[in-house]
Structure 1
Amino acid sequence: MLSTFASVKQYLKFDLSRVIIDNIVFKLHYRWTFVLLLVATLLITSRQYIGEHIQCISDNVVAPVINTFCFFTPTFTVVRHVNNTALESGSIFQPGIGPYNRNEDKIKRHAYYQWVPFVLFAQALCFYMPHMLWKKWEGGRIKALVYGLRMVGLTKYLKHDSMRIGKLNIPSMAEAEERVINIRRTMIDRMRLNQSWGAHLVFAELLNLFNLLLQIYWTHRFLGREFLTLGIKVLRERWVDKMDALDVVFPKVTKCTFYKYGASGSLQEHDTLCVMALNIMNEKIYTILWFWYAFLLTVTVLGLLWRLFTVFFYKNVTFSKWSLYWAKPGKIDESDLKSVIQKCNFSNWMFLFFLRTNLSEFLFQKVIYHLASEFPNDPIHDNDINDYKAREREAAGSSGSTAKYPLLESLDTVDAPLLHHRGGASVAPKSPTDGATLPA
């Protein structure tokens, strides 16, 4: 059985060192729901757990022929026999099964079971798409900075000498100061160049909600408009009435009409019963999906309410302090934090939030300290992140050269100190603004 689900094992790995670029609500969509739908698809397509999907009474017809015919041709139940009273009295032995008059009786056709695996797999892909879009929009920016900062974080165990372990170079404290300054420059440049970063995140989260509502509606139409109240009916009827909503939506026995020509050339009609073994699995899958979708919808709406709070209150120091503590517990200097968030827009604030999620208290304090040193309390400027770049341009213009100012270089050059550091020396030279030192 475990070998059947080996293909989804890769999506269940928990890597504590993985860089986090989203929240738990996002993960419930692209990881847990995606995996749940893939497992359901594998269960439906695997015959070792339920045997043949359909078995019909053959009479004088070859069994494989009528089984295949009734599987590809919609089977049906008689509406007037979907009656709990008749079932309890013994007038019928299965819901929807009984005498049938073609001209008078209304029937309900069942064709969805042919499409269940395809629909489940398509829905799994739909739940993964917002994550793919967000990864493309995010562009690996957080990962690049976090990897560079984590390397610096190892220096708290060293004093004056650097250490090399295989291909890994751990800088000394002095070298770490140089690298943190370079990373600080990179962060400021990233924060300025990606003003729409936060808007893309909000859009991806809204896309999760839209996709969830779309999949609920799609499933409701797919199951003959019986899905929206399925879970409520199951809870109310399952252990009370002999016939419940699952017996109506997923009948275990259906009728099928097969035609063939007899020996004399006349058309013969065969009214047969079919045992729908596949519906034993379908009813459980869609019952679980109903409760999962209800839970996911609740959590998604709460997640969007949280995002609404962050949009309106991110400049509040107390709110930011508790939000960053919630992202990862640890102390933060409130005065430095205030200096930073007052100069941030929402995209900048979200960038810091995810950095806090991925960094230790030791590293994040350094980040906030150095960012605060670049953002003086100057009421003339509304956004010192943008002003920082302007000051470098002015300084570069007065000196006639831009080589000393790494923020004026290409984005790839700015990233160099983060992931490619050789010989323990800083790649990018210091600018005149780098007089700040690390806190003791």
Structure 2
Amino acid sequence: MDSIIGSVGRVANVKVRNDDDLIDRLNHFYTTGILIIFTVVVSARQYVGDPIRCWCPAEFPGTHVDYTNNICWISNTYYIPLDEMVPPQHQLHLRREKELNYYQWVPVMLLIQALMFYIPCIIWRILNGQSGINVDRIVSLGSNAQFESPETRVRTIKYLVKHVDRCLSNQRDSRGTCCVQLRHILSTKLSILCGRRYGNFLVAIYFLMKALYIANAIGQLFLLNEFLGTDFNVYGFQVIDELVNGKEWTGSHRFPRVTLCDFQIRQVTNLQQYTVQCVLPINLFNEKIYIFLWFWLVFVCILSCYSLTNWMWHMVFPTTRIQYVRKFLKLMERLGTGPDRKLAARFVMDYLRHDGVFTLRLIGKNSSDIVVAEIVSELWDMYRSKKCIQIRTNSQNPGHETEEADV
């Protein structure tokens, strides 16, 4: 499956990036690839094979049979079970109520669904470029570092740390007014305000992207409900019920194989009305595709909800962010006791802030904890050295009041 979807991505000239996690790629990459594959399969069946075959009167020559097949394909056929009577001609409105008007548009709808799954990713990639942090570049370097030689790995980590430090410094608001400090507290401690200068812009738009994925998965269930004209949002439960109870699964009123078609042939003096019975082989594919899509949409929705909840738990609360960074400082034996523990909290809250910790977590999800530990230890050493320089500068100028910069 990965090779097939990868081929589709190469044909579409889509570059696989590292600025998200596996659940995000499940939405915008794998699901989009699956929908495109389904589109190709259905389109090939429609335009290469025979999507519909109609039982015509004996007096119809071959050209009339072809005409019947074509006219019944482009017009909407209708489904009436064999054990029910067909409404008479003067009650055509009853026939129209049974019409199937979706099967010609299945390829188009599948492409629209694929686009809808990719739109949140487009929004994320447009907006994260406005944060001042090149997430894709940073995470790609971290991901590649785990496969490099020790010498190259050290150089890559040092370059990566300098790049992260510049990005975090670029986000910082250098003004020291009371209003700025209050907004900083509201954004850091309570996660109320969000913005580039508050250090949580990336996290806010990332949460927005995940919320869009969830809304998209749920919305598509109801969109398909309108498109198919049936209770598609409960389709999967009915399929499970049929399988569990051992019901014979030979046909479906949603995707009937045998339908009826009304058409008229204009003769010199009158209109001749015909009603023929048609078979829709394409509905064999449509039925299996939409059964799979129902379960896939539910699966993707559940995983997306779990992913959003998990990210919010780890990013909204200050204690979870501090514990995450302290874990790596202890692993690299950089964290002592007393002053170091307090300084580590300031390192997380004032230096890394939400976006810094978020970037580290993305690196960890796309590489390994060892790479994250090395990056955290280098950032910690850089932070401590800057603090030491600041303390020495203040001690040499005791009469000069210096604003403490958030490095």
Same fold (TM over 0.5): yes
Shift, 1:286, TM fit: 0.3
* Residue identity in the other structure for 1:130: P
Q: Which residue of 2 aligns with 1:123?
A: 113
Change in 2 beyond 3 A, CA 1:278/1:349: same
Shift, 1:320, TM fit: 1.9
- Aligned CA RMSD, in angstroms, stands at 4.2
User: Is residue 189 from structure 1 mapped to residue 169 from structure 2 by the alignment?
Assistant: yes
Out of 130, 134, 138, the position equivalent to 2:124 is: 134
Q: Which residue of 2 aligns with 1:21?
A: 19
Out of 49, 52, 66, the position equivalent to 1:51 is: 49
Q: Give the whole-Å Cα distance in 2 for the aligned partners of 1:177 and 1:217.
A: 47
User: Is residue 199 from structure 1 mapped to residue 204 from structure 2 by the alignment?
Assistant: yes
Q: Give the whole-Å Cα distance in 2 for the aligned partners of 1:366 and 1:4.
A: 36
Out of 201, 207, 216, the position equivalent to 1:211 is: 216
1:130 match: secondary structure:
helix
Q: Give the whole-Å Cα distance in 2 for the aligned partners of 1:150 and 1:256.
A: 58
User: Is residue 72 from structure 1 mapped to residue 74 from structure 2 by the alignment?
Assistant: yes
Shift, 1:353, TM fit: 1.6
> Is the 2:79–2:253 contact (alpha carbons within 8 Å) kept by the matching residues of 1?
no
1:109 match: secondary structure:
coil
1:315-326 to 2 correspondences below 5 Å: 315-316=319-320, 319-320=323-324
Q: Which residue of 1 aligns with 2:193?
A: none
1:106-255 to 2 correspondences below 5 Å: 106-107=94-95, 108-139=98-129, 141-146=134-139, 157-158=150-151, 170=152, 179=159, 182-183=162-163, 185-190=165-170, 192=172, 194=196, 195=199, 196-238=201-243, 240-242=246-248, 247-255=252-260
Q: Which moved more, 1:66-75 or 1:18-27?
A: 18-27
Q: Give the whole-Å Cα distance in 2 for the aligned partners of 1:151 and 1:72.
A: 53
Cα-to-partner distance string for 1:261-299 (whole Å, 9 max, x where unaligned): 34x622211110011111010000000001111111111
Shift, 1:9, TM fit: 5.8
Cα-to-partner distance string for 1:206-230 (whole Å, 9 max, x where unaligned): 1111222221111111011321111
Q: Give the whole-Å Cα distance in 2 for the aligned partners of 1:227 and 1:278.
A: 18
Q: Give the whole-Å Cα distance in 1 for the aligned partners of 2:234 and 2:146.
A: 53
1:21 match: secondary structure:
coil
Q: Percent identity?
A: 21
Q: Which residue of 2 aligns with 1:267?
A: 271
Q: Which residue of 2 aligns with 1:295?
A: 299
* Count of matched residue pairs: 346
Q: Which residue of 1 aligns with 2:313?
A: 309
In structure 1, runs of 5+ residues without a counterpart are 82-91, 159-169, 379-383, 399-432, 434-440
Shift, 1:321, TM fit: 5.3
> Is the 2:218–2:297 contact (alpha carbons within 8 Å) kept by the matching residues of 1?
no
Q: TM-score, normalised by structure 2?
A: 0.71
Change in 2 beyond 3 A, CA 1:308/1:261: same
* Residue identity in the other structure for 1:188: L
Q: Which residue of 2 aligns with 1:372?
A: 380
User: Is residue 8 from structure 1 mapped to residue 8 from structure 2 by the alignment?
Assistant: yes
* Residue identity in the other structure for 2:225: H
Q: Give the whole-Å Cα distance in 1 for the aligned partners of 2:137 and 2:214.
A: 29
Q: Which residue of 2 aligns with 1:277?
A: 281
Q: Give the whole-Å Cα distance in 2 for the aligned partners of 1:5 and 1:319.
A: 38
Q: Give the whole-Å Cα distance in 2 for the aligned partners of 1:350 and 1:6.
A: 27
1:398-437 to 2 correspondences below 5 Å: none
Change in 2 beyond 3 A, CA 1:74/1:368: same
